[in-house]
Amino acid sequence: MKSKHFSRALVALGFVLCSFAGVVAAQPTDPLPSWNDGKVKQAIITFVNKTTKSGSPDFVPREQRIATFDNDGTLWAEKPVYFQLLYAIDKVRQQAPRHPEWKAKEPFASILKGDSRKALAGGKPALMQLLAATHTGMSGDEFRQSVKQWLATARHPETHKHYTEMVYQPMLELLNYLRSNGYKTFIVSGGGIDFLRAFAEKTYGIPPEQVVGSSLKAKFELRDGKPVIIKLPEVNLIDDKAGKPVGIYQHIGRRPVFAAGNSDGDFEMLLWTTSGPGPRFGLLLHHTDAGREWAYDKDSPVGRLDQALSAAPRHGWTVIDMKKDWKTIFPWGNRSSAPTQ
Q: Does residue 341 belong to the site contacting its own copies (CB under 8 A)?
A: no
Among 43, 252, 302, 311, which residue interacts with its own copies (rule: CB under 8 A)? 252
Which stretch, 74-82, 194-202, 282-290, 316-324, contacts its own copies (CB under 8 A)? 194-202
The residue among 66 and 257 lying less far from its own copies, judged by its C-beta, is: 66
- The set of long-range contacts for 92-100, using a CB threshold of 8 Å and a minimum separation of 24, is 92/130, 92/134, 95/134
Q: Does residue 21 belong to the site contacting its own copies (CB under 8 A)?
A: yes
Alpha-carbon span 172 to 174, nearest angstrom: 5
Task: Judge whether 270 and 36 are in contact, CB under 8 Å.
Answer: no
Q: Does residue 121 belong to the site contacting its own copies (CB under 8 A)?
A: no
Among 70, 194, 264, 293, which residue interacts with its own copies (rule: CB under 8 A)? 194
Which stretch, 146-154, 245-253, 316-324, 329-337, contacts its own copies (CB under 8 A)? 245-253
Angle at 287 between CA 203 and CA 258, to 5 degrees: 60
Length of the chain as a residue count: 341
Provide CB contacts within 8 A for 320, sequence distance 6+: 40, 283, 284, 285, 286, 326
Find the shortest distance in angstroms from Cβ 214 to its own copies: 11
The residue among 78 and 194 lying less far from its own copies, judged by its C-beta, is: 194
Alpha carbon of residue 78 to chain centroid:
12
Q: Does residue 122 belong to the site contacting its own copies (CB under 8 A)?
A: no
Alpha-carbon span 328 to 340, nearest angstrom: 19
Give 61-98 as a DSSP string. -GGG-EEEE--BTTTB---SS-HHHHHHHHHHHHHGGG
Give, as ranges, the residues between 273 and 312 that touch its own copies (CB under 8 A). Answer: 275
Give, as ranges, the residues between 43 and 72 that touch its own copies (CB under 8 A). Answer: 63, 66
Q: Does residue 17 belong to the site contacting its own copies (CB under 8 A)?
A: yes
Q: Does residue 197 belong to the site contacting its own copies (CB under 8 A)?
A: yes
The residues that touch its own copies, with contacts defined as CB under 8 A, are 3-4, 6-11, 13-18, 20-22, 24-25, 63, 66, 140, 184, 186, 193-194, 197, 201, 207-211, 215, 218-221, 226-227, 229, 236, 242-246, 249-254, 268, 271-272, 275
